[in-house]
Amino acid sequence: MIGTIDLNSAMQAVDRLVKSVDTDDPTQTPNAVALDRETVREAITRLCWTAEARDIMFTAVACCCAVDPSEMSFLGLLWYIRQNGGTRRIFETENGAQDSKVVGGYGIVAPMMAARLPAGTVRLNKPVRTIDSRDATTVTVTCSDGERFVARTVVLAIAPVQQLRIEYHPALPPAKLQALQQFKMGNTIKTFAYYDAPFWRELGLNGSAVCDTGIVAVSMDDTKPDGTLPCIMGFALSDQVATVDAMPDAELARSLGAHYAALFGDARGHCVRRVKRSRWASETWIGGALATWSPVCLTTHYKAMTASLAEGRILIAGTETARRNPGYVDGAVEAGERAGRNALVQIGKLPSSARDAVDIPCESVQMPFVPLEWTPLERWLPSLSSFIVGAGATMAGVAAVLALRHSSRR
C-alpha cells in the first residue's frame, strides 16, 4: 500500500516534469542543464521514499532503455517519455509504441519495401567505409569492397556509434566526433525458452511479465500464431546480460525454467525443451539493443549528434534523431522521412519551407487512438510525504483532543 502510494506520486512527479520538456529540442527545456546533470538513478532515488517504488522504477527504465539508470541523463529519460507519449503510453499495449505486431515477423518489412523499388536499388552486404565530401557539389561513398557511389546528398540512417566506424574526408568536426562517442547502444540478450505446450495459457495467463528479480526482466508469449513452437521470450537487460551470456545452454534452460515456474506458479515451467538466444551486442553493424540511450551531458552533445555535415549534403537520420517515438520503429520512419524531405530540399526539388517538417501520422484503422488519462484517484492520491505529514497531523490532533477531554474530566 505504502509502496503503491509512493510509486504513484513518483510517476505523477515524473509526468509533471515530462510536460515541461521541449518536444523538438530537449536542450530548450526549462532547467535543462540541472535535469541533465542528474542521473536517472539519482532522480529516482530522490523522488521515491520506498525501496519498492524505487526498484519498480529502476526496472521500468531498464526495460525501456536496456541501460543501468546510473548511466542515463534524467533529462534524457524525460525527453524519451515525452516523445513517446508519457509514462502511461509507454507501458500500455494499446496505442503504445509497441501496440502492433507484423504478421510474418518484422523481418519481412524491409524486403517487401525493397521489392517495390527498381531492381538493384537496395544493395546488401556493402558496409560503407569512407564518405568524401571534399567536392563542393557531390558526396562519394566507398564500400568495403571498393565499390563507389556518387550522389548529391547522402542520408546516414545508422546509430551514432556506427557513424564512428566510417572514415570521413574532411574529418568530422570535433564537436560531432565528441558527441558520437557519448551516445551508446543499450545491452540486451533475447532468450527463447521452448516448451511442449503453452501451459501458461491453460492457467489463463498471457505469458507477459515484468520482473525485478531473476535472469530476465521482461517476458512475452512468443508461440507462433498457428500455435506451433510454444515459447516464452525473455529479455535479459543491462546488468543481467553478462550472466546470461556466460551460461551454457543447459544451465540457461534450467535457470529460465526456474524463473518461469516461479513467475507463473506452475512446476511445468521447469520443463524447458530447448533454448535459443540472440546477443544484440554481437551484431557488428548495430552494436546493441534496444536502442541508443541519452548520456548525461545530453545538453552539450544533442545538437552536434543530430547536425548534418558538409553544408547539409550529409543528413543524419536513424531512430535516435526522431522527434516522435525515438528508439522505436515509428521513430526510425519519422526520422527517415524527414531526412528524405531535407535531401529533396537540398537538391532543389522541394521548397525550403519543407525543411525539417514532421508528418503527423494518420490514425491506425486497426488500433484507433484512445486517450490514456490518469484516473482521478491516481491524480489526487497524496504523495507519501504528504500522506505521512497528514497522518502525523491527524494523530497529533486526535491525541490533543483525547488529552483535553482527559484533563477536563479531572
Ligand X SMILES: Cc1cc2nc3c(=O)[nH]c(=O)nc-3n(C[C@H](O)[C@H](O)[C@H](O)COP(=O)(O)OP(=O)(O)OC[C@H]3O[C@@H](n4cnc5c(N)ncnc54)[C@H](O)[C@@H]3O)c2cc1C
Residue ranges binding ligand X (CB under 6 A): 97-98, 127-128, 157-159, 162, 165-166, 188, 190, 280, 285-286, 289-291, 318-319, 327-330, 332
In whole angstroms, the minimum distance from the beta carbon of 389 to ligand X comes to: 42
In whole angstroms, the minimum distance from the beta carbon of 155 to ligand X comes to: 10
In whole angstroms, the minimum distance from the beta carbon of 118 to ligand X comes to: 20
Convert the chain into a string of H (helix), E (strand) and C (coil): CHHHHHHHHHHHHHHHHHHCCCCCCHHHCCCHHHHHHCEHHHHHHHHCCCHHHHHHHHHHHHHHHCCCHHHEEHHHHHHHHHHCCHHHHHHCCCCCCCCCCCCCCHHHHHHHHHHCCCCCCCCCCCCEEEEECCCCCCEEEEECCCCEEEECCEEECCCHHHHCCCEEECCCCHHHHHHHHHCCECCEEEEEEECCCCHHHHCCCCCCEECCCCCCCEEEECCCCCCCCCEEEEEEEHHHHHHHHHCCHHHHHHHHHHHHHHHHCCHHHHCCCEEEEEEHHHCCCCCCCCCECCECCHHHHHHHHHCCEHHHCEEECCHHHCCCCCCCHHHHHHHHHHHHHHHHHHCCCCCHHHCCCCCCCCCCCCCCCCCCCCCHHHHHCCCHHHHHHHHHHHHHHHHHHHHHHHHHHC
In whole angstroms, the minimum distance from the beta carbon of 191 to ligand X comes to: 11
Q: Tell me whether residue 56 or residue 158 sits nearer to ligand X (CB atom).
A: 158
Q: Tell me whether residue 278 or residue 352 sits nearer to ligand X (CB atom).
A: 278
In whole angstroms, the minimum distance from the beta carbon of 169 to ligand X comes to: 15
In whole angstroms, the minimum distance from the beta carbon of 80 to ligand X comes to: 12
In whole angstroms, the minimum distance from the beta carbon of 378 to ligand X comes to: 26
Q: Tell me whether residue 29 or residue 191 sits nearer to ligand X (CB atom).
A: 191
Residue sitting closest to ligand X (CB): 289
Q: Tell me whether residue 52 or residue 99 sits nearer to ligand X (CB atom).
A: 99
Q: Tell me whether residue 120 or residue 376 sits nearer to ligand X (CB atom).
A: 120
Q: Tell me whether residue 166 or residue 297 sits nearer to ligand X (CB atom).
A: 166
Q: Tell me whether residue 129 or residue 355 sits nearer to ligand X (CB atom).
A: 129
